[in-house]
Structure 1
Amino acid sequence: MKKRKTISNNRNLLRLLYNSYLPKVVNCAIDINLFDVLAQKELSLKEISGKINTVETITEALLDVLVAVDLIKINEGKYSLLQTANDFFLDVSKANIVSTVKNFSGSAGPFDNLKAVLREGPPVFNDRMWTNANSIASMEHQQYGGAIQNVLAFIRTIPEFKACKKMCDFAGSVGYFSFEFIQENPQIESHVYDLSEVCDLAKEMKKDEEYYNRITYHDFDMASNRSFGSGYDLFFGSHFLYKFNAERTLVEFFKQVNQAMNSGGLFVSNHITSNPDGENDVTLSIVELMTRCIGYPTHQLAEIDLKTALKKAGFGEFRTKYLADEAPYPTLLLSAVKIMEI
């Protein structure tokens, strides 16, 4: 067995990169007169969107970013300016730095069309955006900057993991988590389910890696498929449950997972979550705005929503680990055991 090379955590670097989008976001807020509108009085989300003629869901995400960086505050559903925004982002202020902000806002990034998205709404989400080799490789490299290490540290603490033999790596891309899980528990055979384009690339990209013969790739699309095998001791999912929760289909999906698992089987989840204290996190709010701008409903899954859905689908015996300092954005690692048939 090859010894793993130690890789440092990329959380601080990712936070730096996400924060680099802030001038673009602030400049857009200036451009649509958001600060000027709020200079007049406290307003609700609906009132703000009506006055500046924007889409509420995208406006809400934009406001969350501005709250997180202390330019705007929210109190009982009403938004208002904080002193910094009042002093520096209003045309009437002698100290306004609007032109300076514009000088920091040039990019070819995800917020170049933010103003248009605010006015017209987001495009239809492209669910094939991660199906090319460059995107897959980029995603995998980012996972090795801390996410995989965090999941491995968590799963080592779960006694049931060592007894697992058959695993479903759902929406598992090229199987980078599967390869690492097999190193931890060599008796595991993993079944990776993802879009056909991803599976074809995985077979080419991973064919020379150790443990490739212990992984089977299955073409799968939730739009047309409903079965993802059976007899699993371990079901793992990372960053794919958000849309199910937003569309109120999470319980239905977990019931399918229950039917695919052996009694006593282990479910493990790795997802971005909301801050438990309710405060806005800068990086988290930027990620959420980016997500809504590309037409995806959300990139957060609250712990209470995840546990409630799992309980309704026959799971219990929860273990959780909340990652704050160890990840670039609030992350929840959760395991659950199948305790009843559905």
Structure 2
Amino acid sequence: MLVTTPQTDFEPIHSMLMNNSLSSKAIIGAVELHIFDRLDGRALTAAALAEEGGWVTTRLEPLLDILVAADLLTRNNGEYTNTPVASEFLVTTAPLYQGDCMALTMRFASSVENAIAELVAGGEVDRTEADNGWALEKVMEGTAQDACGVALPRVVQLVAGLPGFHDFRTMADVGGNHGHYTMGVLEQNPDMRGTIFDLPHVAEQSRLRCERFGFGDRIATQGLDFRKQALPAGQFDLILMSHILYGFKGDLGSTLGKIADGLKPGGWFVSHHFSRHQTNGGEMAKASLELITRLAGYPSHFIEQEELSEHLASAGFTDVRFEPVSAKGLGLMTAARKPA
């Protein structure tokens, strides 16, 4: 029989496949074309913008309409201009520009998206390429933009509010990469010094970046693979991890023990990672993040308060604190103290 009447509605699935895939790539394309730069503080018609950029008006106009639907542009009387969020995050000269971060996210996602069936069926996952990539300038800039756009100010605020913070003199940033968390904390305490521990080829680039930002005399970098090596014992008032702890989810007990060993008595451990129990992230966002994480060879991207509290207690930590990074995301900040 050639004609079969559907008993359910497939249209929402079809729309999701079309809208989600195309809209994200349209936004990346608009960033690459510097559309938000051209419309910052200006209102232009599609024809005027196309003439200015050397583009095809009939192709540009639907792209602009996607950006309107995404709340990145407004359209009034046929003229387009940036929304506040576009001006803050998508204009290349803006302090919180996220273009490199978005491109990095898309590249990472596509590396596993195109092999979902193969990887679910047991295909090999090679993390060597990902490890090597952390030292690339574009990757480091993308991760820095991600931090600055969301978590960095909140994590720094939490650290600066810890009891005894102004007496801190040393900190370790494990997997510190771009160094912005270390630099942000040190800005709050001029008597502190920091050490960024990362894979050896990453640590060298971290050093150069910190020097460029004027912290060369206050931040040292050291090559270290925390999966196989330990931090110097009893040296730090603060040990910080941002989106690193999830990589050790399969062995949290011994990992937190190594962290405790690196702290001075009375020192603090602070972690920033994702939690499923953050209520406003959206179930699709949580499921998508977890799929990408597991396909990339990690056990999970989520660590919940209950699980972490248990392991922190077993490692001897006290005064455990949890705070969400924001009201709308999945980020969870954790602080715990080693007894004096």
TM-score when normalising by structure 2: 0.65
Indicate how the Cα distance of structure 1 residues 187 and 123 shifts in structure 2: closer, same or farther if over 3 A, else same.
same
Q: Are the aligned partners of 1:319 and 1:336 in contact in 2 as well (CA < 8 Å)?
A: yes
Q: Are the aligned partners of 1:275 and 1:281 in contact in 2 as well (CA < 8 Å)?
A: no
Show the 5 A alignment for 1:304-319: 304-319=306-321
Q: Are the aligned partners of 1:165 and 1:187 in contact in 2 as well (CA < 8 Å)?
A: yes
* Residue identity opposite 2:165 in structure 1: F
In structure 1, C-alpha distance between the alignment counterparts of 2:304 and 2:124, rounded to whole Å: 24
Shift of 1:197: 1.0
2:230 counterpart of 1:226: yes
* Residue identity opposite 2:255 in structure 1: F
Shift of 1:142: 1.1
Shift of 1:280: 5.8
Query: 1:120-163, CA deviations, whole angstroms, 9 ceiling, x for partnerless residues?
Result: 34623333342322111110111100210111222233222221
Moved more, 152-161 or 283-292: 152-161
Show the 5 A alignment for 1:300-339: 300-325=302-327, 329-339=329-339
SS in 2 for 1:207: helix
Q: Are the aligned partners of 2:143 and 2:178 in contact in 1 as well (CA < 8 Å)?
A: no
Unaligned ranges ≥5, structure 1: 1-89
Shift of 1:315: 0.7
Shift of 1:115: 2.7
Counterpart of 1:239 in structure 2 is 243
Count of matched residue positions in the alignment of Structure 1 and Structure 2 = 247
Show the 5 A alignment for 1:39-58: none
Query: 1:48-104, CA deviations, whole angstroms, 9 ceiling, x for partnerless residues?
Result: xxxxxxxxxxxxxxxxxxxxxxxxxxxxxxxxxxxxxxxxxx994474336666655
Counterpart of 2:121 in structure 1 is 119
SS in 1 for 2:139: helix
SS in 1 for 2:197: strand
Counterpart of 2:141 in structure 1 is 137
Shift of 1:243: 2.7
What's the % identity of the aligned pairs?
21
Moved more, 271-280 or 170-179: 271-280
Indicate how the Cα distance of structure 1 residues 213 and 299 shifts in structure 2: closer, same or farther if over 3 A, else same.
same
SS in 1 for 2:229: coil
In structure 2, C-alpha distance between the alignment counterparts of 1:254 and 1:298, rounded to whole Å: 17
In structure 2, C-alpha distance between the alignment counterparts of 1:293 and 1:120, rounded to whole Å: 10
Q: Are the aligned partners of 1:122 and 1:292 in contact in 2 as well (CA < 8 Å)?
A: no
Residue number among 262, 265, 268 corresponding to 2:267 in the alignment: 265
Counterpart of 2:291 in structure 1 is 289
In structure 2, C-alpha distance between the alignment counterparts of 1:91 and 1:318, rounded to whole Å: 58
Indicate how the Cα distance of structure 1 residues 311 and 278 shifts in structure 2: closer, same or farther if over 3 A, else same.
farther
Q: Are the aligned partners of 1:271 and 1:332 in contact in 2 as well (CA < 8 Å)?
A: yes
Show the 5 A alignment for 1:1-342: 92-93=6-7, 95-97=9-11, 103-104=18-19, 105=21, 109=110, 110-121=112-123, 123-126=125-128, 127-245=131-249, 247=250, 249-275=251-277, 281-325=283-327, 329-339=329-339
Q: Are the aligned partners of 1:160 and 1:266 in contact in 2 as well (CA < 8 Å)?
A: no
Unaligned ranges ≥5, structure 2: 26-106
SS in 2 for 1:309: helix
SS in 2 for 1:206: helix
In structure 1, C-alpha distance between the alignment counterparts of 2:179 and 2:118, rounded to whole Å: 37
SS in 1 for 2:121: helix
Indicate how the Cα distance of structure 1 residues 272 and 217 shifts in structure 2: closer, same or farther if over 3 A, else same.
same
Q: Are the aligned partners of 1:322 and 1:331 in contact in 2 as well (CA < 8 Å)?
A: yes
Q: Are the aligned partners of 1:122 and 1:293 in contact in 2 as well (CA < 8 Å)?
A: no
Indicate how the Cα distance of structure 1 residues 140 and 95 shifts in structure 2: closer, same or farther if over 3 A, else same.
same
In structure 1, C-alpha distance between the alignment counterparts of 2:290 and 2:273, rounded to whole Å: 13
* Residue identity opposite 2:176 in structure 1: G
Counterpart of 2:92 in structure 1 is none
* Residue identity opposite 1:305 in structure 2: E
* Residue identity opposite 2:196 in structure 1: V
In structure 1, C-alpha distance between the alignment counterparts of 2:259 and 2:273, rounded to whole Å: 17
Shift of 1:278: 11
SS in 2 for 1:144: helix
In structure 1, C-alpha distance between the alignment counterparts of 2:155 and 2:281, rounded to whole Å: 25
